[in-house]
Structure 1
């Protein structure tokens, strides 16, 4: 596959078959754990105002996100994967607004398939793309933090899987995440609002049976969980899943 890495939440992207948007610290690690806890879907909100309006119209929705890494007053959850890993969100719709990951995803909707991931679900995401799209397909891999090595390391990891090359090991990716600029504040005792436990979740690669696909058919782009045995729900141009044959 032809895979190209872009960095930042608003890069100018060429049209591709697939866009994979990465936010390791912490948005799409949070999303991954929300689905592991049974969340139904995650709506991507462009602004706080849009998130609050959705909540006003749908009181059962739960708001999750951050501004400059800090909790948003009035939101139900901040951007902590450690907290989400213990949350009761089964069957609930979440609305997510974050500085980098959500913004990057909203900037990357022009593709046949759009996926979001942290490191925790990176291999599953890459393997899904390999399963559904034929050789020669084009993939944009977006490391959403403008200068963070956490997302860049994860992007290189995904690119290596897509191209069948051992660019970087999972262990090396985890080490780069821990040493990255975005992770540094989580180990700073002078910034107690950031907990080191979150980085433990961000560096833990999980073997899971699903991917996080962005569904653009509704009113707003929405992340949905697609289990491996339901990959036929994703319909890339040029190839249908073997599960559908």
Structure 2
């Protein structure tokens, strides 16, 4: 397997196999949603589209990033999600980095979304599929987010070698600008950030499933996949 690491803006032509990484916090939220029993996650391109989809489906939930927005059920906090009842629900998700990256890579033959929480299972799926090349999409900070790159490189090492120590990769993520911004948000008392978010995002290999996205009825839909 030959890994390539790139940003959202450099995905032309579409990769054959893509792993879109958003550690802090979209795909940690997604992983926790599936851990808590959510059925699927539908990616929206805009906040208005997310609210429209929720409005047309009374039992759907809507998640976004940034400060809380009226009409949305969660502001992208994995720590707060742990206290929600999402079993059997469909979630509409719109974030600046993660869902944007997934939509940009939507034409990949195999499209996986990942964070540290599902890194091991994602690597196992790649080992089983044995692709010649994999494009890892670093979604944060214009393709420069250290926490996303560290997670992507951890998955790549696991997929190629079959084993890897997560500690050095988690250390890089813990020292990243993304982690620093979460800590600053906690200090400021930002409503959309929980004090436990960073640590939840830095729990490696927490869940035994990968997350694969595919088009369903014109929408890009994420579902858990167990190898």
Aligned match for 1:169, one of 165, 168, 175: 165
Aligned match for 2:93, one of 96, 117, 123: 96
Residues 70-219 of structure 1 aligned to structure 2 (within 5 Å): 70-134=67-131, 137-145=132-140, 146=142, 147-164=144-161, 169-188=165-184, 190-193=187-190, 194-219=193-218
8 Å Cα contact 1:10-1:103 kept in structure 2: no
Unaligned runs of 5+ in 1: 229-245
Q: Distance in 1 between matches of 2:29 and 2:136?
A: 19
SS of the counterpart of 2:219?
coil
Q: Which residue of 1 is the match for residue 16 of structure 2?
A: 17
CA RMSD, 1 decimal: 1.7
Cα distance change of structure 1 residues 109 and 191 upon mapping to structure 2, 3 Å threshold: same
Q: What's the offset of the Cα at 1:75?
A: 0.3
SS of the counterpart of 1:204?
coil
Could you list the per-position Cα deviations for residues 152-208 of structure 1 after superposition, in whole angstroms to 9, with x for gaps in the alignment?
111111221233287x73111211111111111222354212333101100001343
Paired residues, number:
222
Q: What's the offset of the Cα at 1:131?
A: 0.5
TM-score, normalising length: structure 2: 0.91
8 Å Cα contact 2:32-2:82 kept in structure 1: yes
Q: Distance in 2 between matches of 1:15 and 1:44?
A: 18
SS of the counterpart of 1:111?
coil
Q: Distance in 1 between matches of 2:151 and 2:97?
A: 15
TM-score, normalising length: structure 1: 0.85
Cα distance change of structure 1 residues 2 and 15 upon mapping to structure 2, 3 Å threshold: farther
